[in-house]
Chains A and B, each alone.
Chain A
Amino acid sequence: DAGVIQSPRHEVTEMGQEVTLRCKPISGHDYLFWYRQTMMRGLELLIYFNNNVPIDDSGMPEDRFSAKMPNASFSTLKIQPSEPRDSAVYFCAIAGGSDTQYFGPGTRLTVL
């Protein structure tokens, strides 16, 4: 967990509200990944960036989801509007290529 900071750690919101999840990698990396984990669907790759550029967003479930990486030290995942089925744990991970990924502690999102 030490290489990636995620905030908030827990988020509870109501359906229809905008949610922004944040990721701050501490160490240098080339790649940044956003995952979603649920009991039903397991671990899903949502989107990943290479050198701050989105490479593959085919895992983003709907247009309500968007992700940005304005610089090498910060990325956001936004859900607008949020729905109860978006409730999950969202992970950010970093890597130096097709090699070892290092995960953050995750953000547990609950949409009521």
Chain B
Amino acid sequence: AQSVAQPEDQVNVAEGNPLTVKCTYSVSGNPYLFWYVQYPNRGLQFLLKYITGDNLVKGSYGFEAEFNKSQTSFHLKKPSALVSDSALYFCAVSGNTPLVFGKGTRLSVIA
């Protein structure tokens, strides 16, 4: 069975500082890995995905994520956080079945 873990319920970062939101996964076979963002009163929005190829994936709004097979991780990163990045972030994994989502990490960027 596939699963994904987001070890942090909350991440706080100062505006302008780099941010990292952690995700580890478990799946048999090659994983499809995703990050989604949810702003208040909105549905989940696709940010980026890793299917194959370069381990560093670039997505929307300046976000990127690095696939690390040996550590089974897919951490979300951004070099310089904005207050507007404050939201709920979900990591998701897919093997041969539809996506399995993590519990989400709430990111707060403080001005």
The chain A residues found within 8 Å of chain B, CB to CB, are: 1, 4, 31, 33, 42-43, 45, 48, 91, 93, 95, 98-106, 108
How far, in Å, is A38 (CB) from chain B's closest CB?
12
The chain B residues found within 8 Å of chain A, CB to CB, are: 32, 34, 36, 41-46, 49, 51, 90, 94-99, 101, 103-104
* A-B contact sample (17 more), CB < 8 A, given A1-B42, A101-B99: A1-B43, A33-B98, A42-B101, A43-B104, A45-B101, A93-B43, A95-B98, A98-B32, A100-B46, A101-B44, A101-B46, A103-B43, A103-B45, A105-B42, A106-B42, A106-B43, A108-B41
**Contact between chains at B43 and A100 (CB < 8 Å):** no
Please give me the residue from chain A that is nearest to B90 by CB atom. A43
